[in-house]
Amino acid sequence: MEKLNIDYTAVAVNTGGRKGHVKTDDGKLDFEVSMPKEIGGDGEKTNPEQFFAAAYASCFGGALGAVAGKTSLRDSEVKAKVHLGNYGPGSFGLAVDIEVKIPHAESLEHAQKLAEAAHEVCPYSKATRGNIEVNVKAVE
């Protein structure tokens, strides 16, 4: 594996797991977390899957900007849907659906090609590739 030249490091600390608190070392993020109702929690606070969805969507949007060329990304959107599930008792996993809306692309096919190109360079896509199912789809 090629060595990564590190340009930036984000640091976050969690106490209490899914029913606890998470804070970044610079204090810009500072949240109580809880489990979603769907998996037995109260659903009153944010959860790790929402953090991951927000981070993946933002990162993917940046990757889209890197590959868009002359295509305007004005009014474009990246929606990341992070799914939490299980493979059986005590064995949990994630899957992600990414929907990319590029109103100024030449066509839906062109938008799909840009989305696939972004998926190749996005650091989150690289990190998840081969580990979890990630589906990338251009939408109108």
Residue whose pair of structure tokens reads 């929402």 in the numeric block: 50
Domain residue limits at 13: 1-46
pTM: 0.94
The residue-averaged pLDDT of 83-89 equals 93
What CA–CA distance (Å, rounded) separates 63 from 123?
A: 8
Confidence (pLDDT) at 14: 98
For residues 60 and 123, state if they share a domain: yes
For residues 40 and 54, state if they share a domain: no
For residues 42 and 72, state if they share a domain: no
Read off the CATH number of the domain in which 21 is found: 2.20.25.10
The domain total for the chain is 2
**Is-contact 21 14, C-beta < 8 A?**
yes
Q: How far is CA 63 from CA 15, 84, 90, 103, 122, in A?
A: 32, 24, 34, 17, 5
Read off the CATH number of the domain in which 124 is found: 3.30.300.20
Residue-wise pLDDT for 6-26, tens only, equals: 999 999 999 999 999 999 999
Residue-wise pLDDT for 33-84, tens only, equals: 999 999 999 999 999 999 999 999 999 999 999 999 999 999 999 999 999 9
For residues 69 and 25, state if they share a domain: no
